[in-house]
Structure 1
Amino acid sequence: MTEHRDRVVLESSWKAALAKEFEAAYVVRLRAFLVNEKRGRKTVYPTGPEIFKALDSCPLPDTRVVIIGQDPYHGPRQAHGLCFSVPPGIAPPPSLVNIFQEIEKDMCDENVPGGSSNRKIAPGKG
């Protein structure tokens, strides 16, 4: 199983912290499932290089909070490895628009990232 872990592209502090997790049975099954889906010509989002984009954006020692989101996106190119976000130029799904409207309303702050990208919240690579 180590060979799968070694092929994971991930920021080094996160990779070290999650090393044993990549060998866990559920991760091995999940990886096999995704490989089968791709072999069957099914599209899987986010793309491989973007799967750990959130973790790549901020090394573990610099991380104070991790929010895990599950918001299935409706269209191609919306998922890009960051929860509550779509890439610039891509229309956000309605649930994401609602999330940012509520944040702006609660915080009374027009500097909230808006209805598309959380890049202002998640610093780092973009």
Structure 2
Amino acid sequence: MNRSIVKNGSRILLGAGLVFAGISHLSFARKAFKAQVPDWVPLKEEDTVLYSGIAEIALGTALVVAPKRHRGLTGKIAALFFAAVFPGNIAQYTHHRDAFGLDTDAKRFTRLWFQPLLIAWALKSTAQKRCP
């Protein structure tokens, strides 16, 4: 299969996943996302979940529709977003908060390893070829 087809498909799949996650922040999974908000965040849990949902929708849309020349930057911004929300995953683990079927410390700990994969996915699926 052509590498560019796989790369584009991967980028679009990640973007669609972000849009879906953002919509779930604003609707049916709002309570579960509140479990990931660290205690030190200066905003109300509700506001944090809503703002991060809007950011996910915007980032996901950008990943899908950004012109080719902007995809690298869009991927870097998405990777930074994934890094920025990682403390929420850590908080869910360290505070033993159940959400998204993560109802044991082992499951919550395993979830921590997926964030670096999302960062790599964002960067790899949007990487631009360098000119020689």
Structure richer in helix, relative to its length: 2
Fold in common (TM above 0.5): no
TM-score (norm 2): 0.27
Q: Which protein has greater RCO, CA pairs closer than 8 Å, 6+ apart?
A: 2
TM-score (norm 1): 0.28
